[in-house]
Structure 1
């Protein structure tokens, strides 16, 4: 019953609208050709991302991250159940302008969590600060999606002097933290059933993962996403480490952003919000709330029909907005 309720909430935009939005976002007149070009481009981005992958030993664990580019740093924060691989296309496009850092959060991706280490959002923020210290980075431009957006706001509240600019896509806000659609996931995680009942079947059956009943249909705009390699990259580590996966999900079961408003209002760095209107996890009320919350918001750009993880699908859009925010 819980699963059916969640899937009913997460169906999102019809396939025709999603395909139309996909082609439009790519700026293509031929959707098939655009998809083929995007696939070829993604192969190159994926290879470059893997070549740029590193590990940093810390007290929090062995933190996996990718690093590309030089100069002023940009920090890319991924969503759940994804990892830093989500940003491969954006890193390819933005590494000429920034030293791009895309870590895997504690409990997700290839990061190896130290024994007894918390994977709750406050621990994630402390880990990010420590990682930046070890990389010799004082200040960053932050680009974030989904639960990564929650971490970005918490990082800003604690280390405002370390943030130059903030680019948020569909994510938690003080009025949706956690969003109602995540509650069935949290309940299953508490019962130790989320990985086996949801993630493992998607990992075993890529077509199911891309179906309306899977990760793709629920959170990706284009029906061909995520690709097989992305499914393996995202879900493989989570299925192999079910306990830590459940711990990460359970850590989201409270409003970590409660009372964060004054800290966001004090931040005077430029902030921009990109919001996919086809998202059934976070409502557009969240975009409006975030726009009002920041002292120097540059407004909301709505991406018609795009779902939660559109930043992975439309890296050109992310690069365009990031460069405008950075003035490069």
Structure 2
């Protein structure tokens, strides 16, 4: 694997910087803790809050916060719902915030023989919402979760009140070329052993330009030690499932969705980090022009692919504006 290819892919995640007071409130209520002097949520609080809901697709892991109308937060690859911890704390006063782990990622337990493609994710989410008694949602999504959000909006337009998309797939860039090395390694059964396992074992490597940090995170000190473990441990422990998720991204799952998205009447806002080298620079303007009720694009100067985890205040600001609260 060429170093250039690894840098271009730049899979990763980051520790969130967010309001210390709010974090301590959640940690205390959930049985977790925040380190003295720190302003980052302890992973123990997220683990303590995790629930599982049994569906036809498996036992779906999710964390909820708040009440009222529901908002559904969809993460990307190779992350899980922990990506949205800062946003949930900031928005829980306005919504019943639900952050599930996708099939094949995180702590969701996939049923035997169940597929984990984006289309499978859409069906799973609809089933999960039914079992949680949720009729419709405000969707917030990043990376491959953004592709799932668009497919969900096409399949269930009446269940979408609004859509907030951050850097993610678009019909003109799905999958992005930078993902090809990962898909190829996954097909050979080598992605976990050659990439994820070394990153989990060596946190400094995970934070290096050749690791999870690299060109996909705005701050070079990310991801934190606990974030590395939260994201990578379940993927390393179940390599076959992880490879299946990556292989499921090896086609343009958004082919042909443009016409249906144009018919959508849910307000849609695009937030795009300009430092992202994974997805096409043309995608934000394309996406803003596709949706029937587009609210335009906001660009975040220099921010990289997984910026929503690093800047939850910005996510919350834009979500509240879109939701009118």
- TM-score with structure 1 length normalisation? 0.90
CA distance in 2, matches of 1:10, 1:111: 25
CA distance in 2, matches of 1:254, 1:7: 21
Q: For residue 166 of structure 2, give the secondary structure of its aligned residue in structure 1.
A: strand
CA distance in 1, matches of 2:315, 2:248: 28
Q: Does 1:55 align with 2:52?
A: yes
CA distance in 2, matches of 1:60, 1:108: 13
Q: For residue 100 of structure 1, give the secondary structure of its aligned residue in structure 2.
A: strand
Q: CA deviation at 1:47?
A: 4.7
Q: For residue 321 of structure 1, give the secondary structure of its aligned residue in structure 2.
A: helix
Deviations 1:151-178 (A, max 9, x none): 0000000000000000000000001100
Q: Quick one: structure 1 residues 76 and 11, their matched pair in 2 at CA, closer, same or farther if it must change by over 3 Å?
A: closer
Aligned residue among 143, 162, 165 for 1:146 = 143
Q: Does 1:106 align with 2:100?
A: no
Q: CA deviation at 1:11?
A: 7.1
CA distance in 2, matches of 1:151, 1:202: 27
**Mean Cα deviation higher: 50-59 or 136-145:** 50-59
Aligned residue among 167, 170, 176 for 2:167 = 170
Q: Does 1:183 align with 2:180?
A: yes
CA distance in 2, matches of 1:256, 1:208: 32
CA distance in 2, matches of 1:319, 1:259: 31
Aligned residue among 316, 320, 324 for 1:319 = 316
Equivalent positions of 1:80-99 (< 5 A) are 80-99=77-96
Deviations 1:167-211 (A, max 9, x none): 000000001100000011000000000000000000000111011
Q: Does 1:218 align with 2:248?
A: no
State the match for 2:226 in structure 1. Answer: 229
Q: For residue 38 of structure 2, give the secondary structure of its aligned residue in structure 1.
A: helix
Aligned residue among 40, 43, 47 for 1:42 = 40
User: Is the CA contact (8 Å cut-off) linking 1:54 and 1:65 kept in structure 2?
Assistant: yes
Q: CA deviation at 1:59?
A: 1.4
Unpaired runs of 5+ in structure 1?
13-21, 27-36
Equivalent positions of 1:190-209 (< 5 A) are 190-209=187-206
Aligned residue among 228, 234, 239 for 2:236 = 239
Q: Does 1:6 align with 2:5?
A: yes
Q: CA deviation at 1:52?
A: 2.4
CA distance in 1, matches of 2:292, 2:161: 13
Deviations 1:194-231 (A, max 9, x none): 00000000000011101100111132111111111000
CA distance in 2, matches of 1:3, 1:321: 38
User: Is the CA contact (8 Å cut-off) linking 2:50 and 2:61 kept in structure 1?
Assistant: yes
CA distance in 2, matches of 1:83, 1:231: 11
Aligned residue among 269, 272, 282 for 1:272 = 269
Aligned residue among 294, 298, 305 for 1:297 = 294
CA distance in 2, matches of 1:246, 1:186: 8
User: Is the CA contact (8 Å cut-off) linking 2:121 and 2:148 kept in structure 1?
Assistant: yes
CA distance in 2, matches of 1:278, 1:124: 28
CA distance in 1, matches of 2:240, 2:77: 15
State the match for 1:18 in structure 2. Answer: none
Q: Quick one: structure 1 residues 304 and 69, their matched pair in 2 at CA, closer, same or farther if it must change by over 3 Å?
A: same
CA distance in 1, matches of 2:4, 2:204: 22
Decide which structure has greater helix share.
1
User: Is the CA contact (8 Å cut-off) linking 1:48 and 1:92 kept in structure 2?
Assistant: no
CA distance in 2, matches of 1:187, 1:127: 26
User: Is the CA contact (8 Å cut-off) linking 2:9 and 2:179 kept in structure 1?
Assistant: no
Q: For residue 213 of structure 2, give the secondary structure of its aligned residue in structure 1.
A: helix
Q: CA deviation at 1:41?
A: 2.7
